[in-house]
């Protein structure tokens, strides 16, 4: 049955929060600490939460930590609907194998918690120079080399391995689009999903990651049109963008979904017509990120998502997987 504006799962990202892990703390102490934070999310009107692993490293939680987190979620009345494992590139030099192992552990964690989708990507840790900036995307970080066929093949192979694990667990794997990686353009991201060729592996078309760059960008409409048939999860955020052709100066800044460059009204129309029925995660950088996420959730429910069930077409992820299988 298709989702409507009333029941579509919209999750708050945990990006605005930093978890505290008191040394030697028992399960009760962890539960109190995490319950306090998760209650803030619930108080902002969310029923769903994206367990963004900038808050906690979910793949590394021991049995005590998992029980404490399960209890904290119950205390707040929240459902964990997705996990976003960020900056854990499975092809990062010197760390790819550990990031792959961590991603496998994160999939196991998600299955244990009844979570439907895990988002991973190829973006790597921020550089020291990026961490010094007000907005980290204003200076260049890691780049995947577009002509590195060996690294590309490794990414496909390792994502396919994660996809097989996800399939065994009955959950979805979503690949997050991120600038200057093999998932950094619509054509490259679609090519990767098609090469992986599994119905459990789709895209998280985080177009906000692309339009905030202080450099020439793809038209966001083309990104949405190409990636929509493969979308199974979605980080949504928006940015203002101004370009001065005379000086070459480009400026961007985070803003509400309804106020930025991306027209989410038309973007969601395209996505839903192409079969999107996945979890939506509202993200925001800067200021009161939780309140901005809540305002964006309300905008989606009140003005963007369908009021009546809309039966979308078949996702091209499933169509492609069927062709591969046959």
Give the DSSP per-residue string, 68-112: HHHHHHHHHT-EEEEEE--S--TT-TTTHHHHHHHHHHHHHHHHH
What integer is the mean pLDDT of 96-105?
98
Output the pLDDT for position 1. 65
Answer yes or no: are the C-beta atoms of 50 and 83 closer than 8 Å.
Answer: yes
Assess whether pLDDT exceeds 60 at residue 316.
Answer: no
- Angstrom distance (rounded) from CA 50 to CA 280: 9
**159: three-class secondary structure by DSSP:** helix
Output the pLDDT for position 23. 60
> Which residues are paired to 80 by β-bridges?
49
What integer is the mean pLDDT of 301-326?
66
For the chain, the residue count is 326
Show the tokens assigned to 190: 């679609």
Percent of the chain with pLDDT over 70: 93
Output the pLDDT for position 313. 59
Output the pLDDT for position 326. 39
At residue 173 the predicted structure's pLDDT band, cuts being 50, 70 and 90, is very high
Q: How many CA atoms lie within 13 A of 28 on its CB side?
A: 0
Q: Which CATH architecture has domain 10-325?
A: Alpha-Beta Barrel (3.20)
- Angstrom distance (rounded) from CA 158 to CA 129: 29
Nearest CA among 89, 61, 166 for reference residue 69: 61
Output the pLDDT for position 30. 84
Output the pLDDT for position 256. 98
Show the tokens assigned to 124: 């790597």
Which residue is it, tokens 């429910």? 301
Show the tokens assigned to 74: 């119950």
**Mean pLDDT rounded to a whole number for the chain:** 93
Output the pLDDT for position 310. 76
Output the pLDDT for position 24. 63
User: DSSP E strands: which ranges in the chain?
Assistant: 10-13, 48-52, 79-84, 117-120, 172-176, 201-204, 233-236, 238-244, 249-255, 279-282
Answer yes or no: are the C-beta atoms of 153 and 94 closer than 8 Å.
Answer: no
Residue scoring higher pLDDT (114 or 311)? 114
Question: Would the pTM count as exceeding 0.95?
Answer: no
What integer is the mean pLDDT of 102-118?
98
Show the tokens assigned to 32: 């109190």
DSSP letter assigned to residue 196:
H
At residue 309 the predicted structure's pLDDT band, cuts being 50, 70 and 90, is confident
Q: Comparing 23-27, 84-88, 192-196, which segment has the lowest mean pLDDT? A: 23-27
- Angstrom distance (rounded) from CA 259 to CA 257: 6
Assess whether pLDDT exceeds 70 at residue 188.
Answer: yes
Residue ranges of domains in the chain: 10-325
Which residue is it, tokens 């895209």? 203
Could you read off the pLDDT of 244-265 as tens digits, one per residue? 999 999 999 999 999 999 999 9
Assess whether pLDDT exceeds 70 at residue 320.
Answer: no
- Angstrom distance (rounded) from CA 124 to CA 86: 8
Could you read off the pLDDT of 34-92 as tens digits, one per residue? 999 999 999 999 999 999 999 999 999 999 999 999 999 999 999 999 999 999 999 99
DSSP run (H or E) holding 51: strand 48-52
Nearest CA among 53, 122, 105, 47 for reference residue 83: 53
Output the pLDDT for position 323. 42
Strands 238-244 and 249-255: antiparallel
Nearest CA among 50, 154, 163 for reference residue 104: 163
Nearest CA among 186, 117, 183, 123 for reference residue 156: 183
């Amino acid at each position: 049955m298709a989702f409507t504006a009333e029941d579509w799962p919209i999750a708050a990202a945990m990006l605005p929060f930093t978890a505290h892990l008191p040394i030697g703390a028992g399960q009760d102490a962890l539960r109190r600490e995490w319950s306090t934070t998760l209650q803030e999310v619930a108080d902002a009107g969310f029923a769903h939460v994206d367990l963004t692993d900038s808050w906690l490293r979910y793949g590394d939680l021991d049995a005590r930590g998992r029980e404490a987190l399960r209890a904290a979620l119950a205390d707040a009345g929240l459902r964990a609907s997705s996990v976003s494992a960020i900056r854990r590139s499975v092809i990062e030099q010197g760390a790819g194998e550990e990031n792959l192992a961590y991603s496998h552990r994160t999939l196991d964690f998600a299955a244990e918690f009844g979570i439907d989708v895990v988002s991973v990507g190829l973006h790597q840790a921020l550089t020291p120079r990026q961490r010094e900036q007000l907005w980290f995307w204003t200076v260049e970080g890691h780049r995947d080399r577009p002509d590195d066929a060996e690294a590309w093949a490794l990414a496909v192979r390792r994502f396919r391995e994660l996809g097989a694990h996800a399939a065994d667990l009955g959950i979805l794997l979503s690949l997050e689009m991120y600038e200057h990686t093999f998932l950094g353009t619509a054509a490259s991201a679609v090519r990767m999903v098609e090469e992986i060729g599994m119905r459990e592996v789709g895209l998280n078309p985080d177009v906000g990651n692309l339009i905030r760059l202080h450099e020439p960008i793809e038209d966001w409409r083309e990104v949405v049109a190409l990636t929509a048939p493969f979308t199974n999860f979605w980080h949504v955020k928006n940015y203002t963008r101004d370009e001065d052709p005379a000086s070459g100066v480009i400026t961007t800044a985070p803003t509400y979904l309804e106020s930025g460059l991306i027209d989410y009204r038309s973007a969601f129309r395209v996505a839903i017509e192409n079969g999107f029925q996945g979890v939506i995660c509202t993200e925001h950088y800067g200021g009161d990120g939780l309140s901005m996420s809540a305002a964006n959730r309300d905008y989606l429910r009140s003005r963007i998502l369908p009021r009546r069930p809309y039966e979308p077409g078949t996702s091209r992820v499933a169509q492609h997987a069927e062709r591969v299988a046959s």
